[in-house]
Amino acid sequence: MFVYLCLTNFSRMQDCKLIQLPKIVDNRGNLSFIESNKHIPFDIKRVYWIYDVPGGEFRGSHAFKEQNEFIIALSGSFDVHIDDGKQKTVFSLNRSYYGLYIPAGYWRQIENFSTNSLALVLSSTNFSEKDYIRNYEEFLKTKQA
Ligand code: TYD
């Protein structure tokens, strides 16, 4: 179903978690859904998706100061690499009825996209470039405080 490689027991990392979503099984086709503050612990302010990713490419490589997010593989599969500044974890997403919750403050990179994969990202904030930390050294400094 999915691969969950927790490489550490570091407690902070446990804030990132896979969340199972409702799945209404039907012979006509299955249906899943998400409600703010019910299935995921934040208000959804923005939805975006990543698609047509060429083989071998990766996305992300940044952290957010405030944005909480929930990532679902609506189609296909990909790996989400999470880094809290000390420990690293990889989550493999490949089903549309669960996703990965990532609070603010984690370095994350998405890679190993399968052909025709579709990554849906639900965000707790509107888009702001100021919310990004794109420099890894700068990210590590925020973790030293
Ligand atoms: P970015 O978040 O860096 O992409 P990824 O993390 O998937 O590699 O965004 C890529 C570009 O798109 C960047 O110039 C900002 C812009 N963008 C928006 O304008 N609005 C959005 O909601 C998002 C997510 C990105």
Q: Specify the residue with its C-alpha closest to ligand 1, atom 15.
A: 129
Residue 3 lies in a domain: no
**Domain-embedded: residue 7:** no
Selected catalytic residue, list 62, 88, 95, 143: 62
> How many domains are contained in the chain?
1
- At 16 the pLDDT is 96
Q: Is 8 a domain residue?
A: no
User: With a 6 A CB cut-off, is 127 part of the ligand 1 pocket?
Assistant: yes
pLDDT of 73-113, one tens digit each?
999 999 999 999 999 999 999 999 999 999 999 999 999 99
Q: What average pLDDT does range 39-53 have in this prediction? A: 98
Pocket test for ligand 1, best of 44, 46, 47, 48 (most atoms within 8 A of CB): 48
User: Which CATH number characterizes residue 75's domain?
Assistant: 2.60.120.10
Whole-angstrom distance between the N-terminal and C-terminal Cα of the chain?
39
Catalytic residue flag (residue 62): yes
- In a domain, residue 2? The reply is no
In a domain, 27, yes or no: yes
Q: pLDDT at position 14, please?
A: 79
Q: What's the rounded mean pLDDT across residues 31-45?
A: 97
Residue 6 lies in a domain: no
Residue 113's contacts (CB-CB under 8 Å, 6 or more residues apart) are 53, 55, 57, 76, 77, 78, 119
Amino acid making up residue 130 = K
Does residue 95 lie within any of the structural domains? yes
Cβ contacts of 49 within 8 Å, gap of 6 or more = 74, 118, 119, 120, 121
Domain membership flag for residue 107: yes
For ligand 1, whether the C-beta of 59 sits within 6 Å is yes
pTM: 0.92
State the distance from the centre of ligand 1 to the C-alpha of 60, rounded, in angstroms.
9
The residue range of the domain holding 134 is: 13-144
Q: Is the CB of 50 under 6 A from ligand 1?
A: yes
